[in-house]
Structure 1
């Protein structure tokens, strides 16, 4: 099977036990949970049997060991994760508001995963990639953009493929040179995985239909449009598919898009037909939201197949 490599943050998430606004008073918390969008993606891909490695850094602390133990147990190659003796593992404190929104307190930029490390182990992992998955959430600085772009160019040079989940805040795109860099990444992308209005975030076209056409004309081979409760769509030169979302009771939405993306990307690399891959990916995202904790809803293929059968039986 083709090996996926993803570059980006590993952190712990600590969750408030009660809904409300922020962290300006003492309150009960639950955690730490292993987290970070690239780490969730890697864990889910590994759970369904895809070779996958992550390039990142953690501190020489319990939070770092928690993440490394969990990723390794799930089957992720963590040899490219640098253990930084000088910086702590990244963290995110999250509290849900009554309207479903969230308040965060992050420590990423000044943590271990906020810094790049060019070690022999990192270079070896990057050289082993058949497929690079780029995550917009990890492109918060020019240095991380440059590392991802260099890795993408190297993977493509030896015949590999690229997937890109934009997950970009508009203020990041406003940074000098960032829009041009994102356009360059899109031009190297084989599989594009936007959510909601991200479909038009990096296009001149401003409607879904015209944006899909523009992206395909720019060389993107396949587009998967994640639409949350409205389901998902798949588009390439030969297919325009749409499926409804699975109906579940949402406990925690964090990580659902990463699980969806990991499952679809792995199945796409295996040549699974688009409709089947899309349905299994939708099941992966739906299953993820039924568990508290960003990585606690990852699942293997057998679990996802059982989930789909149970959902179909209830319809």
Structure 2
């Protein structure tokens, strides 16, 4: 099977236990949980049996080891994750608000994650990679953006393909260099995986259909619009495939989109029809929200298929 590589932030998440809990006063917390959008993505892809590896950086500490242990257990290639003495692994403290939104306190750029680089181990991992996946969140610094663009160039230079999940907020689009970096990635993208209004951030069109036509006209092979619990819609120049989501009891939404993306890209790389890839992806996204913690809901392919069989079509 084709080899899938991603690069970016690796961190742990520590979560407030109660909805509405504030970080302005002491309160109960749960965690640490292994996390980071690229790590979640690669962990889910590996769990589905896809050859998958990650380029990243951690501290020489328990949080870093927690991530390495989890990724290795899922079957991911961790050879290009470097460990740095004297630098802490990235962290995200998360609290859940009453309106279902989340508030984060991050330490990423100034953590070991900020030391990400294309070293000999990364070059070795990329040497036989068939596909590179980009998370918009991984363009968190000039150095990280350089790594992502260098990895794209290496994979593209071998005739490989690229997928892109913007995973970005409108406010961040105003950061110096962010818009340019995102547009640079989009120009080399085969599979575009936006959620909701992210689609409109990259188009001059004022509506969804206009944005899809414009972006496909730029050379993108397909657009997969993620709609959370409502499922997803696949668009290419010839067809549209809509697939409903699966009804589950949501415990924690963190990582669901990353698991969805990992499943869709993995099955696209296997030559699956869009409907099949969407069905597996929707199932992975649904299963992801049933556990507290961003990687706790990752499931292996046999379990995903069993879930689909129990749920029927997901309608």
TM-score (norm 2): 0.96
Change in Cα spacing, 1:313 to 1:38, as seen in structure 2 (3 Å) is closer
Structure 1 equivalent of residue 123 of structure 2: 123
Write out aligned runs for 1:109-148 (5 A). 109-148=109-148
Name stretches of at least 5 consecutive residues in structure 1 with no aligned partner: none
> Is 1:35 equivalent to 2:14 in the alignment?
no
Q: Which moved more, 1:7-16 or 1:250-259?
A: 7-16
> Is 1:214 equivalent to 2:214 in the alignment?
yes
> Is 1:75 equivalent to 2:71 in the alignment?
no
Change in Cα spacing, 1:193 to 1:314, as seen in structure 2 (3 Å) is closer
Change in Cα spacing, 1:314 to 1:267, as seen in structure 2 (3 Å) is closer
Structure 2 equivalent of residue 255 of structure 1: 255
> Is 1:8 equivalent to 2:8 in the alignment?
yes
SS in 2 for 1:229: helix
SS in 2 for 1:188: coil
Q: Is the 8 Å Cα contact of residues 118 and 147 (structure 2) preserved in structure 1?
A: no
Q: Is the 8 Å Cα contact of residues 21 and 103 (structure 1) preserved in structure 2?
A: no
> Is 1:183 equivalent to 2:152 in the alignment?
no
* Alpha-carbon distance in structure 1 between the residues aligned to 2:229 and 2:118: 41
Displacement of 1:313 in angstroms is 8.0
SS in 1 for 2:312: helix
Displacement of 1:314 in angstroms is 8.7
* Alpha-carbon distance in structure 2 between the residues aligned to 1:173 and 1:129: 29
Structure 2 equivalent of residue 270 of structure 1: 270
Q: Is the 8 Å Cα contact of residues 55 and 116 (structure 2) preserved in structure 1?
A: no
Structure 2 equivalent of residue 161 of structure 1: 161
* Alpha-carbon distance in structure 2 between the residues aligned to 1:177 and 1:40: 26
* Alpha-carbon distance in structure 2 between the residues aligned to 1:140 and 1:119: 19
Partner deviation per Cα, 1:122-150 (whole Å, 9 max, x = no partner): 22112232110000011112222222112
Displacement of 1:264 in angstroms is 0.3
Write out aligned runs for 1:186-205 (5 A). 186-205=186-205
* Alpha-carbon distance in structure 1 between the residues aligned to 2:313 and 2:49: 27
Change in Cα spacing, 1:157 to 1:314, as seen in structure 2 (3 Å) is closer
Structure 1 equivalent of residue 244 of structure 2: 244
Change in Cα spacing, 1:263 to 1:54, as seen in structure 2 (3 Å) is same
Displacement of 1:199 in angstroms is 1.1
* Alpha-carbon distance in structure 2 between the residues aligned to 1:276 and 1:265: 12
RMSD, matched Cα: 1.4
Structure 1 equivalent of residue 232 of structure 2: 232
Structure 1 equivalent of residue 86 of structure 2: 86
Q: Is the 8 Å Cα contact of residues 263 and 284 (structure 1) preserved in structure 2?
A: yes
Change in Cα spacing, 1:119 to 1:181, as seen in structure 2 (3 Å) is closer
Q: Is the 8 Å Cα contact of residues 246 and 314 (structure 2) preserved in structure 1?
A: no
Q: Is the 8 Å Cα contact of residues 12 and 63 (structure 1) preserved in structure 2?
A: yes
